[in-house]
Structure 1
Amino acid sequence: MSSEIMDAYWQAPPMARTMATAIFVTSISAYMGILPFSWFYFTEDRLFKLLPEIWRLATCFLISSKEFGIILDPYFVYQYLSQLETTNPKFARKADVLWYLLTVGSFIVLVNRTFLGGAFFLQGLITALTYTASQDQRGVKTNFYFFTVPAQLVPYCMILASLLMNPAAIPLQVSGILAAHLHDFLTRLWPEFGGGSSLLPTPGFLSYFVETPRVFRRDYGTAIRPPSQAPGSGSSTGASAGPVFPDSWRSRGSGHRLG
């Protein structure tokens, strides 16, 4: 049973899996007093000093809200980030998803530190992820807690829920929607309707952080992943374009008899 759970865990989208796990582990550790909150919050005086604590740009997104938020916040991050990582046509590469997290997160921090204050920004990022994931699901019905609503209304339902449970989080959530909308305008709306190119292109170097390494070291030898090929270019092994599993032998090309 435990091996099946671990197999399912490792088969999950890697970026969504990693971030949800980091939020859960960090939040549990902080609320139980294992790690101090002072290691994670964002403040400019810790960033702009002789030895800048640059990790705070990331750790300020790793603390969930209290109680049920320790479970729900990682769940929402996993749910919507995995949609961006696997099914959203706007993000063709994992580097695009990473660039989205960097740019949207930076805008959330900038807006909140300039106008609203605050030191932890996960609620804004969750709302941004929800907004972006729902833009390509217009007309689709989805569940939000015990209600069925149009998918594009889910981020606003989150704000409505905060009005009842945690009103202090509403400005942060609104900043998340603004950040996601700005990203959408710069990368999709302007190229489509303004006749220009993307104003926020993904830097090429980010691919090195998210691509699968070509060489794998194993206990019984070394495996080398072949270079990726452009769509429609064919395969040097004669593999078909169909799914690998369950008919995995179809991907081995034509057979040859020995002797």
Structure 2
Amino acid sequence: MSDRVLAAYWATPAIARNLTTATVVLTLLGFFGVIPSYYLFYHPSYLFQMPPHLWRPITGFLIAFERFPMSLLFDAYHLYSYCAQLETGNARFPRKVDLIWYILLVCSWILMMDYLFGFDHLELLPGLILAMVYTATQDQRGQKAQYFFFTVPAQAVPFCMIAFSMLMLGGRPMIQLEGLLAAHMYDFLTRIYPEFGGGPVLLRVPAWLESIVRTPRTAKRTYGTAVRPSGPSTGSSTGAETGGPLPDSWKSRGKGHRLG
């Protein structure tokens, strides 16, 4: 039974799995005092003290203490669900490095907006979740989605989440609004402006990040890009190939005769 659970766990999308696991583990460790929760909250002032708490901009996106445990349940569910959608079913993120670059950009913009607007949110996870929801639903126009007991247009889900937070005691609509703005900024710079404004793609994945994250090897050609399989060639020593438009009788080599 445990082997099946572990196999199912490791079969889930890697980025969604790791983000959700880190969120659940850090929140539980902080809530039960294994790690002082004081060291997990984010505040910009901690970055300017000596020594600076450089981990706080990361842990701030991986905790859900407010209204525990309901916040953890809902946030973990939405984080995994929409991150998995982006990782496995969104054409805008064909490689894992593309999604990682998206997450880094969105989180950086949320941190910048939170500082410039003077909100000083201690927990930033709702902003990241809302950004993922917005990005995932942009390619679902015309489809319907279920939000609690209501059926709404898919692209309206992020706005329903913000409205629900505004009506709920202790909701976090402002950090969610920052996530919405960050996701729209990414959408504008990578899709709207290049496709409809005729401009260049301004947010390409940097080379240093591609060198860190493993991606399929590609072969550059004058007429496109071919992906090389990671495994060895399956062709036999006779030189025959298993695919192609020619009939099988044309692919095998005979004994051969000298001409002339």
Place the TM-score, normalised by the shorter chain, in its bin. Answer: 0.7 to 0.9
Which residue of structure 2 aligns with residue 142 of structure 1? 145
Which sections of structure 1, spanning at least 5 residues, go unmatched? 213-225, 242-253, 255-259
Partner residue, 1:217? none
CA-CA distance at 1:49 after TM superposition: 4.1
Q: Distance in 2 between matches of 1:129 and 1:167?
A: 22
Taking structure 2 as the reference length, the TM-score comes to 0.80
Match of residue 73 from structure 2: 71
2:163 partner letter: L
**Displacement of 1:46:** 2.2
1:72-114 C-alpha deviation (Å, 9 max, x unpaired): 1111111111111111111121111111111110111111122
Q: What amino acid is the match of 1:159?
A: I
Match of 2:248 in 1: none
Aligned pair in 2 of structure 1 residues 178, 53: CA closer, same or farther (>3 Å)? same
Letter in 2 for 1:78: Y
Q: Does the Cα contact within 8 Å between 1:42 and 1:57 map onto a contact in 2?
A: yes
**TM-score where L is the length of structure 1:** 0.81
Cα distance in 2, alignment partners of residues 57 and 232 from structure 1: 36
d(CA) in 1 for partners of 2:184 and 2:39? 31
The offset of 1:42, in angstroms, is 2.0
Looking at structure 2, the residues matched to 53 and 88 of structure 1 have their Cα atoms a distance apart, in angstroms, of 35
For residues 210-256 of structure 1, what are the alpha-carbon distances to aligned partners after superposition, in whole Å with 9 as ceiling and x for unaligned?
Answer: 317xxxxxxxxxxxxx9556547788324979xxxxxxxxxxxx9xx
Residues 4 and 156 (structure 1 numbering): CA distance in 2 closer, same or farther, change over 3 Å? same
For residue 127 of structure 2, what is the amino acid of its counterpart?
A: G
Aligned pair partner of 2:155 in 152, 155, 163: 152
Conservation of the 8 A alpha-carbon contact between 1:28 and 1:70? no
Structure 2 residue 62 is matched with structure 1 residue 62: yes
Runs of 4+ more than 6 Å apart:
232-235
Q: How does 1:92-171 map to 2 (within 5 A)?
A: 92-115=94-117, 116-166=119-169, 168-171=171-174
Compute the displacement of 1:141 (Å). Answer: 1.4
Q: 2:175 aligns with which of 148, 172, 176?
A: 172
Rg comparison, structure with higher value = 2
CA gap of 1:2–1:186, structure 2 versus 1, over 3 A, is: same
**Partner in structure 2 of residue 222 of structure 1:** none
In the alignment, structure 2 segments of 5+ residues that lack a partner are 220-224, 236-240, 244-250, 252-260
Q: CA deviation at 1:199?
A: 1.3
**Alpha-carbon distance in structure 2 between the residues aligned to 1:27 and 1:240:** 53
Where do 1:1-259 residues align within 5 Å? Answer: 1-64=1-64, 65=66, 66-115=68-117, 116-166=119-169, 168-211=171-214, 227=217, 230-231=225-226, 236-238=233-235
Identity of paired residues, percent?
43
- 2:174 and 2:6 mapped to 1: Cα distance? 38
Give 1:53 shift: 2.3
Q: What is the letter of the counterpart of residue 167 of structure 2? A: L
One-letter amino acid of the structure 2 residue matched with residue 36 of structure 1 = P
Task: Between 228-237 and 107-116, report the one with greater CA deviation.
Answer: 228-237
SS at match of 1:148: strand
Worse overlay, 227-236 or 152-161: 227-236
Q: How many residues matched?
A: 229
Does the aligned pair in 1 maintain the 2:30–2:40 contact within 8 Å?
A: no
Q: CA deviation at 1:40?
A: 1.4
| Structure 1 residues 28 and 80, CA gap change in structure 2 (3 angstroms) | same
Question: Contact 1:187/1:198 (CA < 8 Å) preserved in 2?
Answer: yes
Query: Cα gap change, 1:41/1:232 in structure 2, threshold over 3 Å: closer, same or farther?
Result: closer
Letter matched to residue 58 of structure 2: A
The aligned counterpart of 2:257 is none
Once the two structures are overlaid, the 10-residue window that deviates more, 25-34 or 44-53, is: 44-53
Q: Is the contact between residue 145 and residue 151 of structure 2 (CA under 8 Å) also seen in structure 1?
A: yes
| Matches of 2:172 and 2:227, distance apart in 1 | 48
Deviates more, 1:129-138 or 1:110-119: 110-119
Measured after TM superposition, the shift of residue 45 of structure 1 is: 3.0
RMSD: 2.4
